[in-house]
Chains A and B, each alone.
Chain A
Amino acid sequence: MQSICSLIKLHQKKAFISVGRFSSVGDPKNLQIFFLMPDRALLKIDNLEVRFYAEEQLENSVVHEFNLEIFPGETLALIGESGCGKTTVARAILRLIDWPGKMTNGEIFYRGENLLAMPEQRLRQIRWKEIAMIFQEPAAALNPLRRVGPQITEVLRHHLGLDKKAAAEKTLHLFESAGLPDASRCFGAYPHELSSGMHQRAMIAMAIACRPALIIADEPTAALDAHHQNEALACLQRLQHEYKMSLLFITHDFGLVATWAHRVAIMQQGKIVEAEITEQILSQPKHPHTKKLLEAAQRFQ
């Protein structure tokens, strides 16, 4: 166990070097104070339960007794093996679960408002402006029939009431800050004309457009190669620091998380089994499942 921790710490250092002056984001000491104040939570998931109804009789509780808090400005990594309900939780937060899935129990409070009970109208104001989301498959998250730029300007104009020119300018600016090379070309390109690294950056640009308080990143790097993975992560980290956003980072890759998450929540079969500060989890994992995941990461490396 000792060896893996040192290995991950080494990894951590490298990542900090690679992102240069933004490394202070990863310093958990600044944020530890929040963890002692549960009422300061930005998002509070309380006893969430999501069921999927495959057939009439057969129902399947995918997420149950799920409790989690996200504090302002923190990066929380949600780690679990495939199929344990990570994505379902992410989608439940924004009420994206459609039939045959159903949220049967629980509450999700965003700044004291229950997301699950509020009217559609209010929810639409919170989506994207307050809570944004980055999807697993960046290529699939863009409408294939529309150019990348106009997809974003449309929303900017619709939501923020910008005129056409201002929206286009803002989009170009967002592209640049998300590190899209040749932003003006990407603006007029169809999704199939861009690489997946560019898709992900466009998605990041879209997500940060309104400076949301929370970004849910659902395995945002799963579809990218190692090089693009690092770039996208550095970009996310930089923007998070710049805009002082919280980040719920969903992944199954311990190595990724150890480098920059403040806290780690371990999920198993629809439940949180352990949620701790990253250092703590890495050095003294309590739950057997956490140990297993750590060992798996070790073997892999």
Chain B
Amino acid sequence: MHERFVFYSVRMSKIWHRFKRQKLACVGFVLIVSWTLLGFFASILAPHDPFEQVPNRRYQAPNPHHLCGTDQFGRDILSRLLVGSRVSLSLGLAVTAVALLIGSTLGAVAGNFGGALDAVIMRGVDLLLSFPVIYLLVTGVAFFGANWAILVLVMGLTSWMDVARLVRAEILSLKERDFIKAAQVLGLSQSRIVFRHLLPNALSPLIVLFALRLADAILLESSLSFLGLGVQPPAVSWGSIIRDGRDVLARAWWIVTFPGLAIVLTAMALNWMAEGLRKSL
């Protein structure tokens, strides 16, 4: 047991060593971790009640009391940002997980079995990719409503295609490697080969893709919320804060600016992190 742990930690420490030499990747990592922590402890950290409407402090520019100002209902933007990060991050994470699950399963099946099954799955991918995703989302939300679970499902179901392509390509190249042939010679079943030998070896590009997809999912959620199709009030996400502020942009720039910055920073941090992971894995 001890021996196992040593081997494992040696491998991890090598990856970590390569990762920490890349400054941007580390900055991204720190940003993501701090956003997660901030979101997690939002209820303690938020200086004000994010939902409390105070008529006499409407439209306050950033000041020492309200670091990011207040909106047209007198709600504290900073508090709303912190609480909103919960929805944005968790939704992004869940959507990415769903996309990865569907995409890697279908991609692995297509890549491994080939033939007609492969053709059907990959043409399905082409078909789905040729739709503008936002229309699919709008249709889905219009039909099924806009609660958290439905959003995850609808967004997950429309964003697994490039995962499937990546996994299929990986599997195709892995399949020609000798250790897969060796696993076949050992009389292992197809499903065992796929899940024990093929997919784990396709993991490192998948991890990179995970970080990139996460950024995409957060952006997508923001766009949906901006259109009013995301989480519904009183729930708050970064996109919905921007929507609240968009009508009064000329009068109160801070309502839109701070959540916008949060989205940009998070997406950028994730991209940096993905780049760092790509180099170190």
**A interface residues with partner B (beta carbon < 8 Å):** 91, 94, 96, 98-99, 123-129, 132-133, 135-137, 140-147, 154-155, 158-159, 188-190, 193, 203, 206
B201 within 8 A of A: yes
Given A143-B201, A158-B192 in contact, is the A128-B175 Cβ separation under 8 Å? no
Binds A, one of B133-141, B142-150, B183-191, B247-255: B183-191
Question: Complex formed: what's the CA distance from A147 to B181 in Å?
Answer: 18
* Minimum distance in angstroms from B13 CB to a CB of chain A: 14
Interface positions, chain B 184-215, Cβ under 8 Å from A, are 184-189, 192, 196-197, 200-201, 203
Q: Which of A98, A127, A144, A190 contacts B185, CB < 8 Å? A: A127
Q: Which residues of chain A are within 8 angstroms of B182 by Cβ–Cβ distance?
A: 133, 135, 141-142, 203, 206
| Contact for B188 among A137, A140, A155, A189, CB less than 8 A | A155
Chain B interface, DSSP helix/strand/loop, else mixed: helix
Asked whether, in the complex, the Cβ of A155 is within 8 Å of the Cβ of B186, the reply is yes
- Residue contact B187 to A188, C-beta cutoff 8 Å: no
Q: A124-B189, A142-B179 are in contact. List 16 more A-B contacts (CB 8 A).
A: A94-B185, A96-B185, A124-B187, A125-B187, A135-B178, A135-B181, A136-B178, A141-B179, A142-B182, A144-B201, A145-B203, A147-B4, A155-B187, A158-B192, A159-B187, A203-B182
B3 interface residue (CB < 8 Å to A)? yes
A140 to B184, CA, bound (A): 14
Complex contacts, A140 vs chain B, CB 8 Å: 177-179
Interface residue B114 (Cβ < 8 Å from any Cβ of A): yes
Q: Which of B115, B175, B185, B203 has the most CB of A within 10 A?
A: B185
Interface of A is mostly: loop
Q: With an 8 A cutoff between CB atoms, is B131 at the interface?
A: no
Check B114–A128 contact: CB distance below 8 A.
no
Q: Closest residue of chain B to A154, judged by CB?
A: B196
Chain B residue, CB-CB nearest to A192 = B11
Nearest CB of chain B from residue A49's CB, rounded to whole Å: 21
- Residues of chain A with a CB closer than 8 A to B11's CB: 190
B122 shortest CB reach to chain A, Å = 15
| CB-based contact B7/A128 at 8 Å | no
B11 and chain A: residue at smallest CB distance: A190
* Known contacts A140-B178, A141-B179; A128/B187 CB under 8 A: yes
Contact A143 B179 (CB under 8 A): yes
